[in-house]
Chains A and B, each alone.
Chain A
Amino acid sequence: EAQVTQNPRYLITVTGKKLTVTCSQNMNHEYMSWYRQDPGLGLRQIYYSMNVEVTDKGDVPEGYKVSRKEKRNFPLILESPSPNQTSLYFCASSLHSYNEQFFGPGTRLTVL
Chain B
Amino acid sequence: AQKVTQAQTEISVVEKEDVTLDCVYETRDTTYYLFWYKQPPSGELVFLIRRNSFDEQNEISGRYSWNFQKSTSSFNFTITASQVVDSAVYFCAPPEGGYQKVTFGIGTKLQVIP
Give chain A's interface residues, CB within 8 Å of chain B. 33, 35, 40-45, 48, 50, 56, 58-59, 88, 90, 92, 96-103, 105-106
Taking a contact as CB atoms closer than 8 A, the residue among A40, A45, A105 that contacts B103 in the complex is A45
Can you pick out 10 interface pairs between chain A and chain B where the beta carbons lie within 8 Å of each other?
A: A33-B102, A35-B104, A43-B91, A45-B101, A48-B100, A97-B102, A100-B50, A101-B102, A103-B45, A106-B44
Taking a contact as CB atoms closer than 8 A, the residue among A98, A100, A106 that contacts B99 in the complex is A98
Which residue of A is nearest B50, CB measured? A100
Which residue of A is nearest B9, CB measured? A40
Tier of interface size on chain B: 20 to 34
Taking a contact as CB atoms closer than 8 A, the residue among B9, B43, B47, B106 that contacts A106 in the complex is B43
Give chain B's interface residues, CB within 8 Å of chain A. 9, 33, 35, 37, 43-47, 50, 91, 93, 95, 99-107
Which residue of B is nearest A97, CB measured? B99
Query: Would you give the shortest CB distance from A10 to chain B, in whole angstroms?
Result: 12
Q: Find chain B residues with CB under 8 A from A35 CB.
A: 104
Which residue of A is nearest B46, CB measured? A103
Q: Find chain B residues with CB under 8 A from A45 CB.
A: 101-104
Taking a contact as CB atoms closer than 8 A, the residue among A42, A58, A92, A96 that contacts B101 in the complex is A58
Q: What separation, in Å, do the CA atoms of A40 and B107 have in the docked complex?
A: 8
Query: Would you give the shortest CB distance from B42 to chain A, in whole angstroms?
Result: 10
Q: Is the CB of B100 within 8 A of A42?
A: no
Q: What separation, in Å, do the CA atoms of A53 and B67 have in the docked complex?
A: 38
Q: Is the CB of A42 within 8 A of B102?
A: no
Q: Find chain A residues with CB under 8 A from B33 CB.
A: 98
Q: Find chain B residues with CB under 8 A from A41 CB.
A: 106
Q: Find chain B residues with CB under 8 A from A106 CB.
A: 43-44
Which residue of B is nearest A102, CB measured? B47
